[in-house]
């Protein structure tokens, strides 16, 4: 493991680290000197690819098959890391889902699934991690929000609602945790090179690019570097804030 870098010695847990932005953040954190663990739900092969990518930068990662909606598995994961590492310095609540559904065709089950994973899953994981952070009187919780929770854009209503909830969660939790030296921050990306951006119809993507000051979608690498900064001591005076990274929409 690298002993230099902005995250040298930090112990970081990322939810949903098996692919996409989650994987990119794991690799970036490892490259900056952190010890990295991540959760995934089903795809062991994808999780193995994340482990290999972290190992390629000199910091093998720990992988846990644990749904963010499974409090027993989540508690076991956190306890295992605290026993092995002595604690956690940072949690990144990255796991999330969406569905491309208009409101009129949305069933209760659709609403519940997105709200459960994106909001309840964040609550359950944060609750499991915060006990240790309170004991050590230090830590960072980084919630991965979205432009869809910050601006009035054409996106599924339940997804927008869930991401807006993360902003409120961030602000209120930051006020409560500040007395323990714990920072809580939200990072809200705009459209990126993969994920939600890839599922958009061509005309909606073209409209986004037309109004975006930089005229392009973002990259996972750009967002992962911002996430690393927010976890680092260089951002020690940042808490309760949402950083919007959308290319200037």
Catalytic residues: 159
Residues facing residue 185 across a β-bridge: 142
- Measured at the alpha carbon of residue 168, what is the angle toward residues 163 and 170, in degrees to the nearest 5? 90
Do the beta carbons of residue 146 and residue 117 sit within 8 Å? no
DSSP 91: E
Query: CA 245, CA 249: separation in Å to the nearest integer?
Result: 9
Query: CA 116, CA 123: separation in Å to the nearest integer?
Result: 10
Of 170, 167, 164, residue with least CA distance to 126: 170
* DSSP code string of 214-243: T-S-B-HHHHHHHHHHHHSGGGTT--S-EE
- Measured at the alpha carbon of residue 139, what is the angle toward residues 221 and 242, in degrees to the nearest 5? 50
Query: CA 191, CA 225: separation in Å to the nearest integer?
Result: 16
Element (H, E) at 64: strand 62-65
């Amino acid at each position: 493991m690298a002993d230099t870098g902005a995250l040298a010695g930090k112990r970081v847990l990322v939810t949903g680290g098996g692919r996409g932005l989650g994987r990119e953040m794991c690799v970036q954190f490892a490259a900056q000197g952190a010890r990295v663990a991540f959760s995934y739900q089903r795809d062991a092969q994808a999780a193995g690819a994340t482990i290999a990518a972290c190992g390629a930068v000199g910091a093998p990662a720990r992988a846990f098959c644990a749904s963010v909606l499974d409090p027993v598995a989540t508690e076991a994961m956190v306890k295992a890391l605290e026993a092995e590492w002595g604690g956690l310095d940072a949690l990144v609540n990255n796991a999330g889902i969406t569905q491309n559904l208009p409101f009129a065709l949305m069933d209760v089950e659709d609403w519940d699934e997105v709200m459960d994973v994106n909001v309840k899953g964040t609550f359950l994981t944060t609750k499991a991690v915060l006990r240790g952070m309170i004991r050590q009187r230090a830590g960072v919780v980084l919630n991965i929000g979205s432009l869809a929770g910050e601006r009035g854009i054409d996106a599924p209503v339940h997804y927008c609602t869930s991401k807006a909830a993360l902003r409120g969660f961030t602000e209120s939790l930051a006020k409560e945790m500040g007395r323990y030296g714990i920072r809580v921050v939200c990072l809200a990306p705009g459209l990126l090179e993969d994920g939600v951006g890839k599922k958009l119809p061509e005309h909606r993507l073209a409209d986004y690019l037309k109004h975006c000051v930089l005229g392009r979608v973002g990259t996972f690498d750009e967002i992962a570097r911002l996430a690393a900064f927010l976890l680092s001591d260089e951002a020690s005076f940042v808490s309760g804030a949402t950083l919007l990274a959308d290319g200037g929409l």
